[in-house]
């Protein structure tokens, strides 16, 4: 197996399938048959399982002269969007529109610049609108000879059936706690006890595990979210808990968004040859302005989405906490996700019952769904905190609606 695949944790089957495709891609280039390779792929896997890593690693391996050595310039740059023949795209809004799809069709018709393939990695293919997909369909079915499409989505059920029928499907599984622990120790040099905690707390989400293991702020935030949810006394404490959760999620998202924004701003300046702080005049001003405007719109939408994603992570943490509470209430021997909080979990569990905890778990899923459907996070979380405080009342209220 080529070293570049080390980035993909606990996905032996997928790695095998994709590296065989890379080898066959080479055969196809010299005119032989290569049945393991095809021009359109669909990679699915739960959030944090390494969907994007699988897609971008595959892309890099296809264009690396050594089929994914893991060390050359191509292997290092292509997975982060730093190669002209690998296009990594994410929807600029909540979904992919027709204009974005048309631009992709144009791009996919171009020959690669300095490698055997032009690879288009489409993240969140579940956010393709029907119309956008219609404009893509032909390029996906009969692409130009050197174009490879790699579409990513959470699951097959999330994407249009027409996509499934026109792509070869590869499915990632949720990495085990053991896989994630080993990754943290081997690759990120995390101390074993911390690695074990972060792997357990992340519930198989690799990016989340890395954050918890390496950033104290992430651990503190998680801890305060969980503590708040089991210390709700009255309505004001529900409102405060919701507000704090949104504020912390926003801060975390903003930090990451600022970083991405400034990188892109620098790329834009470089593309137009503008030095930092200088002003653009004359005929190029219009195209600079228009590019800037487009970028700013994209950055704003992304920032909003990142805040929602951060809030969703907190909600997944709450799901884990109340799952633990249910385990204690049912006297089950399963290992707790939040083992280090056992005393607090036991005392909360003793004050409630499994039926209430189940209602709370449902309320958390409702909150996630409503935020996904565009409800402002603050509102959704306030409603959630009130139902956590009083699960039966909230459930009566929901049933009356």
With binding defined as CB under 5 A, does residue 77 bind Zn ion?
no
Q: How many residues does the chain have?
A: 401
In order of 20, 38, 101, 120, the CA distances from 140 in angstroms are 21, 11, 11, 11
- Provide, rounded to whole angstroms, the least separation between the CB of residue 267 and Zn ion: 23
Which parts of 111-251 are beta strand (E)? 118-122, 147-153, 168-171
SS3 at position 270: helix
Burial class (CB in 10 A: 0-12, 13-18, 19+), 140: buried
Q: How many of the chain's residues bind Zn ion (CB under 5 A)? A: 4
Number of other CB atoms surrounding residue 236 within 10 Å: 9
Contact pick of 18, 28, 75, 136 for Zn ion (by CB under 5 A): 75
Closest to Zn ion by CB, 59 or 306: 59
Show the binding pattern over residues 159-198: x = contacts Zn ion (CB under 5 A), - = does not. ----------------------------------------
- Provide, rounded to whole angstroms, the least separation between the CB of residue 69 and Zn ion: 4
Closest to Zn ion by CB, 64 or 180: 64
- Provide, rounded to whole angstroms, the least separation between the CB of residue 259 and Zn ion: 26
Question: Using the 8-state DSSP alphabet, how is residue 6 labeled?
Answer: G
Closest to Zn ion by CB, 73 or 251: 73
Which parts of 48-200 are beta strand (E)? 86-89, 118-122, 147-153, 168-171
- Picking from 399, 302, 322, 329, the residue whose alpha carbon sits closest to that of residue 365 is 322
Pick the piece of the chain touching Zn ion (CB under 5 A) from 34-42, 67-75, 104-112, 275-283: 67-75
- Provide, rounded to whole angstroms, the least separation between the CB of residue 73 and Zn ion: 8
Contact pick of 69, 98, 288, 344 for Zn ion (by CB under 5 A): 69
Among residue numbers 330 through 389, which ones bind Zn ion (CB under 5 A)?
Answer: none
Half-sphere exposure of 38 (CA within 13 A, CB side): 16
Closest to Zn ion by CB, 75 or 249: 75
Instruction: Compute CA 32 distance to the chain's CA centroid, rounded to the nearest angstrom.
Output: 37
- Provide, rounded to whole angstroms, the least separation between the CB of residue 5 and Zn ion: 12
SS3 at position 293: helix
- Provide, rounded to whole angstroms, the least separation between the CB of residue 182 and Zn ion: 24
Pick the piece of the chain touching Zn ion (CB under 5 A) from 26-34, 59-67, 156-164, 314-322: 59-67
With binding defined as CB under 5 A, does residue 64 bind Zn ion?
yes
- Provide, rounded to whole angstroms, the least separation between the CB of residue 34 and Zn ion: 20
Helices 235-271 & 284-329 angle (0-180, nearest 10): 150
With binding defined as CB under 5 A, does residue 72 bind Zn ion?
yes
Interaction site with Zn ion (CB under 5 A): 64, 69, 72, 75
């Amino acid at each position: 197996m080529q070293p570049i695949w080390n980035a993909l944790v606990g996905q032996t089957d997928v790695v095998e399938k994709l590296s065989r495709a890379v080898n066959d891609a080479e055969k196809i280039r010299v005119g032989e048959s290569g049945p393991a390779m095809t021009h359109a792929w669909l990679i699915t896997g739960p959030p944090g399982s390494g969907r994007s890593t699988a897609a971008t690693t595959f892309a890099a391996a296809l264009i690396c002269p050594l089929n994914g050595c893991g060390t050359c310039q191509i292997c290092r740059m292509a997975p982060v969007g730093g190669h002209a023949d690998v296009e990594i795209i994410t929807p600029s809004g909540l979904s992919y529109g027709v204009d974005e799809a048309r631009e992709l069709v144009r791009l996919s018709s171009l020959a690669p610049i300095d490698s055997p393939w032009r690879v288009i990695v489409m993240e969140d293919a579940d956010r393709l609108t029907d119309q956008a997909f219609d404009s893509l369909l032909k390029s996906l079915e009969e692409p130009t000879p050197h174009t490879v499409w790699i579409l990513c989505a959470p699951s097959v059920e999330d994407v249009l059936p027409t996509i499934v029928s026109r792509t070869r499907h590869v499915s990632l599984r949720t990495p085990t706690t053991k896989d994630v622990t080993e990754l943290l120790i081997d690759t990120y040099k995390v101390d074993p006890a911390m690695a074990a905690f972060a792997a357990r707390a992340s519930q198989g989400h690799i990016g989340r595990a890395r954050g918890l293991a390496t950033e104290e702020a992430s651990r503190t935030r998680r801890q305060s979210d969980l503590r708040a949810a089991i210390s709700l006394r009255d309505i004001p404490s529900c409102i405060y808990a919701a507000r704090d959760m949104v504020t912390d999620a926003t801060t975390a998202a903003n930090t990451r968004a600022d970083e991405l924004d400034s990188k892109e701003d620098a790329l834009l300046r470089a593309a137009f040859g503008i030095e930092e702080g200088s002003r653009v005049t004359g005929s190029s001003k219009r195209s600079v302005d228009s590019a800037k405007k487009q970028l700013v719109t994209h950055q704003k939408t992304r920032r909003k989405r990142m805040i929602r994603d951060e809030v969703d992570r907190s909600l997944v943490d709450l799901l884990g906490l109340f799952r633990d509470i249910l385990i204690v209430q049912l006297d089950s021997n399963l290992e707790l996700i939040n083992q280090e909080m056992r005393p607090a979990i036991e005392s909360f569990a003793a004050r409630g019952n499994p039926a209430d905890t189940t209602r709370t778990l449902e309320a958390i899923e409702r909150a996630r769904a409503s935020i996904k459907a565009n409800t402002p996070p603050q509102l959704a979380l306030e409603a959630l905190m009130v139902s956590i405080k009083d699960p039966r009342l909230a459930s009566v209220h929901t049933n009356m609606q």
